[in-house]
Amino acid sequence: MESRGKLDVASCSRPVKFFRASIAFRLRPRKTCAQRIRSYRPQSAAVFFLFMLLAASAEPSARPAVDNLSEIRELVEAQRWQEVVQKLRTVSPRNVDQNYYYGIALAQLKNYREAGRVLLAGRRQQPRDKRFATELAGVAFKQKKYPSAVAWLRAALKLDPSDAYANDFLATVYFLEGNLEAALKYWNRVSKPTIENVTEQPPLRIDPALLDGAFAFSPASMLTLADLATSESRIEGLGIFPVYRFQLNARADNNFDLVLEARERNGWGVNRWDALISTLRGIFYQTIYPEYFNLHGSATNLTALLRWDAQKRRALATISGPLWQDAKYRYGATIDLRNENWKVITSFTGPATVLGGLNLRRESLSGQIASVNSGRWNWSTGVELSHRDYRSIFAGAALTPALLLAGFELKQRARLDSTVLRIPERRFLLRASVSDEAARIWTTPSASFLKVQGSLAAHWLPRPRGNDYEVEEKIGLGKTVGQIPFDELFMLGLERDNDLPLRAHIGTRDGRKGSAPLGRNYFLSNWEINKNVYNNGLFGIRLSPFLDVGKISDPDIVLGSRKWLFDSGLQIKFHILNVGLTLTYGKDLRSGANAFYFTTQP
């Protein structure tokens, strides 16, 4: 060994100096290097070896880290994952790149638990490195933990919103979860997906040209989220598809076929049972609903209501269809005849004060045009000519002469609906609506009034797929200006002709309308959560707890609620074929009164 060779002066001077400093030799007179070596005592040598042993034990025992990553990168490019793992397993500590390559190699070898741990360590070293969030999403995806994969991909896109791979990956995860809107949102960022064919399943009877006009997209083009939303609005506006959805089917060429899966309403119904149930769904409250849909495949619908209840007779008929055979525009015409007995009373149950009563006869003829401009907004406008008169009047404290305006009335209506917020990945939708009715009554003297209403409606599906849970909230406001007739007052309560439900306040007593709060201005909030209990496609049950908050006011202190009203309760919703049945139990939290109500929906 080299240590056994001759030592020159230079090679000897450094250790001699070191040991003189360490053990304080006092050497007199000055000796040569050879003499110094020969004069070292055994105990001095023992101290030397002991010191070296302690110095060695103080050094880290781990092997040195791999500094050159070029070899690791070559192995990764060659997909030799086992060799990558072998080379990096014992390296400690690992730097950022080493943790990245080690983590993806472990993932490729399906050691997902260890891969996740290593990639998390790398992300802690470099939180701004999007690679780790993307690879952690891949690990979660391989384990079919789609919500976790979504969270990691969203984290990656916060760091780089234009990352094509992360956008495509996230869209694919949403697509597999059945959330087509969210998939389109992220696919559209990378100019995908391309639609090759558009088909219907099962085959539909509607005029193919009319249906094609309802689609805002065309074959051999990219499907955008905006075009899908517009198409859905127009399909819904046709009024013949109670249930529908768009489905993407992947093709071998990486493009897609778009399929409209829909249940179509034709004629009186799918079969005699469907027609019978639909027509007689209101038989328990002396009402039938004759309806005929999709006349000759034109999406022209005839709907009617006939009620022979002695206290509130009504006959109503409506015809509606696409204008100029264009699904974007739709016309409607309605005739409505009413003969109703009203008893204005302070409560629908228990002791109550009668504030007035009358018999109302009203006939009206109206027409409107609606436009589904896009998935973002649509509008409608129309006119109504009506005539009213009152008989058997008991004025009481509520029915002032200013309310009993009889004669002809001409009314103009306008409405605008808009999608305020759409968050597809959260399955959240917020819509706004504003409407006005301006009317003039030819009485003596003549009178005019304006009714304005606005609402916000939120819809949220909290689970990534399906509608097992569904949360809905609607807030509405209404105000009137001018001299308004009695039958134009707002009503807060459950009544089959009323669209402002306060679900522990029933609008009739002894069959007569007038037991729910009436007034010129209102605020109403309706919240509910729907839970599917059973559904086999033809028959389903949902439970719906709800909470309503409302207040209605009027310049006449006799009318209105005078206080805020709070109603809570439970609805049981059934659907049989195309018919909905709802049983409602509500409790007035202010008075403690209980309410039970039954109604149907098409």
What is the share, in percent, of the chain residues with pLDDT greater than 90? 79
Q: How far apart are CA 367 and CA 72, in angstroms?
A: 75
pLDDT, mean of residues 155-159 = 96
Mean pLDDT of 65-71: 67
What tens digit of pLDDT does each residue of 510-558 get? Answer: 999 999 999 999 999 999 999 999 988 789 999 999 999 999 999 988 9
CA triple 548-553-559, angle to 5 deg: 110
Cis bond before residue 602 (omega within 30° of 0): no
Question: Stretch 39-50: mean pLDDT, rounded?
Answer: 43
Banded pLDDT at 42 (limits 50, 70, 90): very low
Distance (Å, whole) CA 235 – CA 27: 107
Question: Is the separation of the CB atoms in 449 and 484 below 8 Å?
Answer: yes
* H runs (alpha helix) in 58-207: 70-77, 81-88, 96-108, 112-125, 130-142, 146-159, 164-177, 180-187
Task: Report which of 300, 111, 275 is spatially closest to residue 207, judged by C-alpha positions.
Answer: 300
pLDDT class for 479, splitting at 50, 70, 90? very high
Which DSSP state fits 424?
G
Q: Is the pLDDT of residue 268 over 50?
A: yes
* Mean pLDDT on 176-194: 95
Measured from the Cβ of residue 302, the count of other Cβ atoms closer than 10 Å reads 14
What is the C-alpha to C-alpha distance for residues 223 and 410, in angstroms, rounded to an integer? Answer: 45
Contact status, residue 383 vs residue 411, Cβ threshold 8 Å: yes
Say if residue 69's pLDDT is above 90: no
pLDDT in tens, 419-437: 999 999 999 999 999 999 9
- Write the pLDDT tens digit of every residue in 356-375: 999 999 999 999 999 998 99
Q: With 70 as the cut, is the pLDDT of residue 51 above it?
A: no
* CATH number belonging to the domain at 194-263, selected among 3.10.20.310, 3.40.50.10490, 1.20.140.10, 3.50.50.60: 3.10.20.310
SS3 call for 564: coil
What pLDDT is stored for residue 557 in this prediction? Answer: 87
Model pLDDT, residue 20: 29
Give the phi and the psi of residue 54 in degrees, each rounded to 5.
-65, -40
Least confident of 184-193, 515-524, 572-581: 572-581
pLDDT higher at 36 or 100: 100
At the second CATH level, the architecture of 272-601 is Beta Barrel (2.40)
Mean pLDDT of 304-328: 96
- The pLDDT of residue 196 is 93
197-207 pLDDT, tens digit per residue, is 999 999 999 99
Instruction: State residue 586's pLDDT score.
Output: 97
Report whether 226 contacts 285 (CB < 8 A): no
Q: Which of 184-193, 483-492, 532-541 has the lowest mean pLDDT?
A: 532-541
pLDDT band at 465 (very low <50, low <70, confident <90, very high): confident
pLDDT-based confidence at residue 144 (cuts at 50, 70, 90): very high
Q: What length is written for the chain? A: 602
Average pLDDT over residues 275-295: 94
Domain parsing of the chain, residue ranges: 2-57, 194-263, 272-601
Query: What pLDDT does 68 receive?
Result: 65
Which of the four pLDDT bands, split at 50, 70 and 90, describes residue 461? very high
What is the overall mean pLDDT for the chain?
A: 88
Question: 398: buried, middle or exposed (CB in 10 Å: 19+, 13-18, 0-12)?
Answer: buried
Q: Are strands 194-201 and 256-263 parallel, antiparallel or unpaired?
A: parallel
**pLDDT at position 47 over 60:** no
Top-confidence residue, 11 or 565: 565
